[in-house]
Structure 1
Amino acid sequence: MPLIAIVIAALAIGFEQLIQWKYGPMGIVAFVLLTVGIKANSLKISGAGAALLVLLLAQSG
């Protein structure tokens, strides 16, 4: 069980670093909003994070 938690944490940190590298600080803000919204079961917060990520993806594409 601890090994699975370590692997999941490493993947999350890697994904966070990838977003920060590609989309900058706003990407981190969007990712944090999405994560906090999902964990808190808040549709408004997770929706704001998801919308911000979509805007960043659309801007870079």
Structure 2
Amino acid sequence: MPLVALVVAALAIGFEQLIQWKYGPMGIIAFIALTIGLKAKNTAISGLGAIILVMLLAQSN
């Protein structure tokens, strides 16, 4: 079980670094808002994070 937790943590950190590298500080803020909103089951915060991520993705294309 600790190995699985370690792998999941490494993937999460890698994904955060990828978001920050590609989309800057606003991308990491959106990712954190989405994560916090999902964990707290707060649709307003998770929706805000998702909207910001979608806007960043649309802007990059």
If the length of structure 2 is used for normalisation, what is the TM-score? 0.98
Which residue of structure 2 aligns with residue 14 of structure 1?
14
In 1: Cα distance, 2:44 partner to 2:5 partner: 28
Shift of 1:48: 0.3
Shift of 1:11: 0.2
Unaligned ranges ≥5, structure 1: none
Over 4 Å off, 4+ runs: none
**How many equivalent residue pairs?**
61
CA offsets per residue over residues 3-23 of structure 1, 9 Å max, x none?
111100000000000000000
In 2: Cα distance, 1:48 partner to 1:3 partner: 33
If the length of structure 1 is used for normalisation, what is the TM-score? 0.98
Unaligned ranges ≥5, structure 2: none
In 2: Cα distance, 1:42 partner to 1:15 partner: 22
1:37 aligns with 2:34: no
